[in-house]
């Protein structure tokens, strides 16, 4: 329970109220004491953040996607600023699974943080090997399968962009992971029908959905008159993508009413996080904002408790998907396809 003290919304009242909000939530079998997590790639393995706040107070740490072998990532420059966001093409730099288990995971386990390990591969077989390598390793609360990776065996096509390849990866992970391990498939927004991909990965064995990864973007540097990133294109993140992410959560929740959803994309405040929860997310991840405010995850968690209390919620679970329920109850009419796209 989190105690929240706030002033009455009535401008004529000087009332100060104190209420308790139950911040616990779950992603299926993965029970979390709090609904705010870090986003993969934005907080490494949590060690640096632990200097700013107690990382065990968050729901969980989602680690940077790890691959089988060490990787130096893409050539520089690999970051560019954009209006209300940033573009990155880090290229999954990392120590490889063995070093990761020995150093990062061991540290997280000893620190007592719940850890969701993000895995990434260039082939279905690589994902399977990672899942197998992580079997029976202490300190793994769940797997997040980053399928926004190019398939080296198929002209670099991104796994997440096709229902078939997305499902193949998840099926392989499911087959080789611990049988009870929660498996979140992390989806890309760069698809025509996000609900179709979500449905395919759930049928393949995902126990939940993480959404969304960055969306593909590009910046031209006007001095060199060439692409600003050495990798030419990069992933756009930050507040610029928030409405896309909220829309993805909404559409997946509509299609799959009971699947656990971890929502993310441009969250900078508790009120931003609340949008995701009302749209259907059971928990949220915090990414880009960490680069300019390392204390953001815990601040956002506290702000979320306040945002819930002010609106009369006494728990996170009461608020999950609330926008769907109230949309049906208050509008009471079917919204036609034509009305939905705003054109």
Ligand X SMILES: Cc1cc2nc3c(=O)[nH]c(=O)nc-3n(C[C@H](O)[C@H](O)[C@H](O)COP(=O)(O)O)c2cc1C
> Which of the residues are catalytic?
149
Residue with Cβ nearer ligand X (23 or 62) = 62
Give 136's DSSP letter: T
Footprint (CB under 6 A) of ligand X, residues 219-238: 237-238
Q: Is the peptide bond before 315 cis (omega within 30 degrees of 0)?
A: no
Which residues face 150 on adjacent strands?
158
A 10 A CB-CB count for 38 gives 28
For the bound state, the minimum distance from the C-beta of residue 37 to ligand X, rounded and expressed in Å, comes to: 10
Q: Which 68-107 positions form the footprint of ligand X (CB under 6 A)?
A: 88, 90, 92
Contact (CB, 8 A) for 255 and 198: yes
Candidates 7-15, 158-166, 286-294, 324-332 — which segment interacts with ligand X by CB under 6 A? 286-294
The answer to the question of residue 123 lying near ligand X (CB under 6 A) is no
State yes or no: residue 288 binds ligand X (CB under 6 A).
yes
CB of 246 to ligand X, least distance (A): 12
At residue 308, φ and ψ (nearest 5 deg) are -70, -50
CA distance 165 to 177: 18
Per CB under 6 A, does 213 bind ligand X?
Answer: yes
CB of 254 to ligand X, least distance (A): 21
Q: Is 301 in the site for ligand X (CB under 6 A)?
A: no
The CA distance from 161 to 147, in Å, is: 9
* Residue 117: φ, ψ to 5°: -95, 125
What is the closest distance, in whole angstroms, from the C-beta atom of residue 45 to ligand X in the complex?
A: 11
Closest by CA to 143, choosing from 65, 202, 215, is 65
The helix (H) or strand (E) run that includes residue 131 is helix 124-133
Tell me if 287 contacts ligand X by CB under 6 A.
Answer: yes
> Is 39 a residue that touches ligand X (CB under 6 A)?
yes
Binding residues for ligand X, rule: CB under 6 A, are 39-42, 64-65, 88, 90, 92, 118, 146, 186, 213-214, 237-238, 241, 264-267, 286-288
């Amino acid at each position: 329970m989190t105690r929240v003290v706030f002033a009455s919304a009535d401008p004529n009242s000087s009332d100060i109220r104190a209420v308790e909000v139950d911040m616990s939530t779950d992603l299926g079998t993965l029970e979390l004491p709090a609904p705010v997590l870090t986003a993969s790639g934005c907080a490494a393995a949590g060690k640096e953040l632990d200097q700013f706040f107690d990382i065990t107070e968050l729901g969980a740490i989602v680690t940077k996607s790890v691959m089988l072998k060490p990787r130096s990532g893409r050539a520089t420059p690999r970051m560019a600023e954009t209006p209300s966001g940033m573009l990155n093409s880090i290229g999954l730099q990392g120590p490889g699974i063995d070093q990761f288990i020995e150093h990062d995971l061991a540290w997280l386990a000893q620190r007592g943080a719940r850890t969701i390990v993000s895995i990434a591969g260039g082939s279905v077989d690589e994902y399977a090997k990672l899942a197998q390598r992580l079997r029976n390793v202490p300190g793994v609360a769940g797997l997040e399968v980053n399928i926004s990776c190019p398939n080296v065996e198929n002209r670099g096509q991104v796994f997440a962009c096709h229902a078939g390849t997305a499902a193949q990866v998840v099926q392989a992970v499911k087959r080789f992971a611990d049988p009870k391990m929660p498996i979140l498939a992390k989806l890309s927004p760069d698809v025509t029908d996000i609900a179709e991909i979500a449905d395919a990965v759930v049928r393949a064995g995902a126990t939940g959905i993480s959404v969304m990864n960055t969306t593909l973007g590009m910046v031209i540097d006007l001095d060199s008159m060439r692409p600003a990133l050495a990798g030419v294109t990069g992933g756009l993140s930050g507040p610029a993508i928030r409405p896309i992410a909220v829309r993805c959560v909404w559409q997946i929740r509509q299609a799959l009413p009971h699947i656990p959803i971890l929502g993310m994309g441009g969250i900078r405040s508790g009120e931003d996080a609340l949008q995701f929860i009302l749209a259907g997310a059971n928990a949220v991840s915090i990414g880009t904002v960490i680069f300019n405010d390392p204390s953001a995850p815990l601040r956002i968690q506290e702000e979320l408790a306040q945002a819930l209390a002010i609106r009369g919620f006494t728990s996170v679970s009461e608020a999950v998907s609330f926008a769907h329920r109230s949309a049906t109850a208050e509008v009471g009419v079917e919204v036609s396809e034509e009305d939905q796209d705003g054109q």
